[in-house]
Amino acid sequence: MNNVKPRRLSPYWWPLNFIFFLILFPSHSFSLPPTERMSLQNGLRLIVSEAHSLPFVTFQLIIDGGSRFDPPNKEGLSYLTAKGLLHGTIKHTSKQMNELLDFMGANLHTDSSKDYITVGFKVLKRDLFQGFHLFMDAITLPVFPKDEFHSEIQRTLGIIKSVEEDPKELSEREFFKTLFAGTPYGHPVIGTEESILKLTRNDLAAFHSSYVRPNRAILVITGDISLNEIKMDLMSRLEAWPAGNVLPTSHKQPSAQNTKILTLERAISQANITLGNLAPQRNNPDFFPMIVTNYILGGGFSSRLLTEIRAKRGLAYSIRSTFHFKKRVGSFLVSLQTKNDSAQEAISIVLEEIKKLQKEPVTDIELEGARKYLTGSFPLQLDTQAKLAGFLAQVEFYGLGEDYAHNYVSCIMAVTKEDVQRVAKKYLNPYNYTLVIVGNLKEGRFRK
């Protein structure tokens, strides 16, 4: 009966698995564990951080081949290619792979997001060598067998249905579709019913051959392994992974939009609201003022939105704002759920709070609180092998620089009240926004 009820929504309980939200920062008294970085001949970037307190090793591979590279009418291709890596290789069938991995107690999983494909792997030290080769087989030697492919298509159709059944996920899906319409960031990572039914095994093989290549990949290894062991035992296999051609990149930027309100009728007791606008990409000079601003508005448990909507009025259990930063685009959004007939009130409060942030400077206490939290909580973001590996991979992927962690504290501390007001005006838009409401529209007075 482990039906635990967490009190508040927090990253502990609701992993934002489809969204990149970097909240990983150092404090004054903390520095990154020592890491080694190197580039192999085939273009693979390798980052290693040793930690020998527990007898296991974590691998995190990220590949520059997310759903933004799905060709038109082949939405879901990156996702199905990622899933297909586990469907069997030249050496093993899917069933054999599963047996071998489970026998070691190893975890191997693949996924795709808008920017990149991830392959995560965790294995006990005693099985490192055998496990590593299975991991590399999956990445480099997949065969995408017919039966497994068809069964994955059926599962993906099932997952699409599950999303439609979940009003919160549905609301966010429609939000991103609308905000990024006409760009490679618009469609859902898992594709649509129409698009995935048109995909073939050849599409997967071609996508794999173009994108799953060392010159597009970053591999982070953390845990009970030394650089010497990597050089002796793993390096030759990593080096044997053949590089691919450099692919031309073009990117269509989303265009600024007028206010769009989308409503979706569901016979449910809450309106699931997503409201927001376009924002810049991850690597932009205003990143630090933006995360400070977001923390004050709707990031922390002392945020303005949480105080106004939850603590004072009891309108919602979960209310938060976020910047979602991607490689080429970004977005700002507020997400909340409230009983249908409170929806209009909650939306007005959100818009008023954004306007207030643009009109008046934040208080000294708010600014200081945000700085202290964002710098002080850094060690908590790196306290497991997987969290550290994820951090190192993303710093590399988004090109944040080797000194990113080192400079972080000073960058946060340099943010001023004027900066907060400036970025609030520049990147939050309470006049032209995209708003999605999934709920009982009559009770919410969105429809007569």
Partner 1 sequence: MNKKKQSVFFSTVYWVFLVAALSSHPSVSFAEESSGNKTFEAILSNGLKVILLENHKAPVVTVQVWYRVGSRNETWGKTGLSHLLEHMMFRGSKRFSAEQFVRMIEENGGKSNAFTSHDYTAYFVNICAERVAIPLELEADRMQNATFDEKKFATEKKVVIEERRLRTENNPQAYLYEQMAATAYQVHPYHWPVIGWMEDLEGLTVSDALDYYHRYYVPANAFLIVVGDFSRQDLLPKIEKAFGCLPSTQAPQQVVSREPIQKGERRIVIKREGLVPALMIGYHVPNLQNADGYVLEVIEGILSSGKSSRFYDRLVREKQIALRAYADFSLTSFDPGLFFISAEVLVEKDLTTLEKAIDEEIIRLQTEPVAMEELNKVKNQLEAGFIYSQDSVFNQAMVLARNEIAATWRCIDDYIPAIHRVTPNDILRVARQYMIPENRTVGYFIPLPPQNIESNNSKNLIVEEEYTR
Cα distance between residue 105 and residue 352, in whole Å: 52
Instruction: Calculate the alpha carbon distances from 28 to 391, 408, 412 in Å.
Output: 18, 9, 11
- What 3-state DSSP class applies to 438? strand
Least distance in angstroms from the C-beta of 325 to partner 1: 21
Cα distance between residue 296 and residue 409, in whole Å: 17
Least distance in angstroms from the C-beta of 144 to partner 1: 15
Least distance in angstroms from the C-beta of 204 to partner 1: 18
Q: What is the CA radius of gyration of the chain?
A: 23
Least distance in angstroms from the C-beta of 397 to partner 1: 23
List the one residue out of 377, 362, 379, 376 whose CA is nearest residue 416: 362
Q: Are strands 217-223 and 45-50 parallel, antiparallel or unpaired?
A: parallel
99 or 233: CB nearest partner 1: 99
List the one residue out of 366, 210, 352, 351 whose CA is nearest residue 292: 366
167 or 191: CB nearest partner 1: 167
Cα distance between residue 342 and residue 319, in whole Å: 14
175: which strand partners?
A: none
41 or 255: CB nearest partner 1: 255
Least distance in angstroms from the C-beta of 200 to partner 1: 19
253 or 269: CB nearest partner 1: 269
**Contact present, 184 and 111 (Cβ < 8 Å):** no
Residue 282: CA atoms inside 13 Å, Cβ hemisphere, count?
19
Instruction: Calculate the alpha carbon distances from 69 to 110, 143, 331, 399 in Å.
Output: 17, 21, 19, 19
6 or 34: CB nearest partner 1: 6
215 or 294: CB nearest partner 1: 294
Instruction: Calculate the alpha carbon distances from 288 to 155, 418, 423 in Å.
Output: 40, 13, 10
Least distance in angstroms from the C-beta of 69 to partner 1: 23
**Interaxial angle between packed helices 146-165 and 77-84, expressed in degrees from 0 to 180 and rounded to the nearest 10:** 130
114 or 187: CB nearest partner 1: 187
Least distance in angstroms from the C-beta of 119 to partner 1: 15
Least distance in angstroms from the C-beta of 43 to partner 1: 31
Least distance in angstroms from the C-beta of 327 to partner 1: 27
243 or 264: CB nearest partner 1: 264
**Contact present, 329 and 180 (Cβ < 8 Å):** yes
**Contact present, 403 and 286 (Cβ < 8 Å):** no
182 or 379: CB nearest partner 1: 379
39 or 317: CB nearest partner 1: 317
Cα distance between residue 350 and residue 371, in whole Å: 23
Least distance in angstroms from the C-beta of 42 to partner 1: 30
Cα distance between residue 314 and residue 371, in whole Å: 28
215 or 270: CB nearest partner 1: 270
Least distance in angstroms from the C-beta of 300 to partner 1: 6
List the one residue out of 276, 259, 267 whose CA is nearest residue 172: 276
- State the alpha helices, DSSP H only, in 107-215: 128-140, 146-165, 167-179, 193-197, 201-211
